[in-house]
Amino acid sequence: MKKILFIYPSSYDSQHRIIKSRKSFVPSRTLPYLAALTPKRFETRIIDEVVDSINFDEDADLVVLTGMLRHIPRAIDIAKEFRKRKTPSIIGGVGAFAIRDTIIKSGAFDSHVIGEADDLWGSILDDFDKGQLKAQYECTHHPSLNGLPPARYDLLDKKKYLRSFWDMKNPIILIETSRGCPRDCKFCLVTKYFGKKMRYRPIGEVVEEIKHHGSKFVMFTDDNIAVNPSRARELFLALKPLNIRWLAQFETSVASQPELLRLAYESGCASAFVGIESLTHSNLNSINKSQNTKMAFKDIVKSFKKARIPLLASLIFGMDDDTLDSIDWTIEEMIQNKANVIIPWLLTPIPGTISYDELKKEGRIIHENYSQYTFYQAVIRPKHMTPDELEKAFWKGMKRFYNPILILKRFLLSEMEDMPGLLYHIYFYWKIRKGIHPFDSVY
């Protein structure tokens, strides 16, 4: 029986050291899902390099890698090591898609899968069996999501992943209910990779996979779970009997739909990750996210609080109308309007996005060492500050929001019932003190 080794690479720090950790945030869904699509004639194993070690002398017949942009330099080095041992390798996924030319120039991989692999995977493995792997496979359509098998999370060491306060026995499980996004934000690669047309997985199959894994806390990977309100209602109604807690990404427009938010809460929504991005309208217009200008931030917060759903406000700093003062002001607005959680990032130009093309043309990209494209390291020259000033303002804002005194006021004085939120804030404070982004993969 031939053995396939699936590897999710780690990445390099600024000293070119491999980033390792005792535990990781959540497991990737991609490789467990590919393993589920793999015919039973193959033996399969998954390595998550952040928490696992790679034995390059392991008896493997094929190595399969994927990752986000920051993981690709390490993926290239891993493939080169296996190539020395005459073990072929395949790479695919969003990160490799973004820098296809780099993948080709590296000469590290025997094959590169461009686009979604669902409908290609069986024929790729048939070619491998025959010793006829092609240098490139490309999916020219967006596959149906009907009949997706449950991801093979059983191939991971579950003890190495974060637990939620609602399920201390199982890791947080990633579940997919849709792909695509009808928006076209300049900084995002989703529409280029998954398309603008929404594709939905049958809700009954989503429910069955949740039951299959048995975890009581689920993170949905959808980029915009409630963009279709009628479908969202159907999904939330189906989730209610499962007695789970869940987290998903929403857009700001859902704040004007109180009945849908109420139903989300009743179905177990524990937190809503919302792409606020900026409180400056000119910034929002510049990144094709004008839909966020239709409702004041304070009203968005009030809507989620009324629904009793904690708001995780995602922010992007480094846009063209950002200044040091506007970053400080944004943080104060988050505090004054009682956002539950903030998740700031720095504007990072992903190849293939409109933002990348614009910044490249203007000569404002500092480097293309993709290991450092972490979204909290400055890799562009902002218009109104230096890259170093941008990073300092970013960390200053994080430390201000997650200040211990503010944390105590936020919870002990007004929201005592939200003990999980308090504990998460203490955890965020601890990570920020160590100079680690709270939503980085390691802890």
pTM of the model: 0.95
Distance, CA of 35 to chain centre: 20
Q: If phi over 0 gives left and psi between -120 and 50 gives alpha, with beta otherwise, what is residue 375?
A: left
Round to the nearest angstrom and report the end-to-end CA distance of the chain. Answer: 37
**427 phi and psi angles, rounded to 5 deg:** -65, -45
At 416 the pLDDT is 43
At 413 the pLDDT is 59
At 419 the pLDDT is 73
User: What count of residues does the chain have?
Assistant: 443
Orientation of helix 297-306 relative to helix 258-266, angle to 10°:
40
Rounded Cα–Cα distance for residues 15 and 294 (Å): 44
At 417 the pLDDT is 58
Residues 6+ apart with CB under 8 A from 105: none
At 443 the pLDDT is 38
All residue ranges of the chain with pLDDT < 50 are: 416, 443
Tell me which amino acid residue 399 is.
K
Rounded Cα–Cα distance for residues 412 and 403 (Å): 14
Give the containing element (helix H, strand E) for 389.
helix 387-401
At 414 the pLDDT is 59
Orientation of helix 229-239 relative to helix 203-213, angle to 10°:
40
At 46 the pLDDT is 98
Domains annotated for the chain, with CATH where assigned, are: 2-138 (3.40.50.2300), 153-433 (3.80.30.20)
* Nearest alpha carbon to residue 45 among 1, 4, 81, 92: 4
Asked if 253 and 276 touch (Cβ cutoff 8 Å), the reply is: no
Give the containing element (helix H, strand E) for 114.
strand 111-114
At 163 the pLDDT is 85
Rounded Cα–Cα distance for residues 111 and 419 (Å): 48
DSSP designation for 254: G
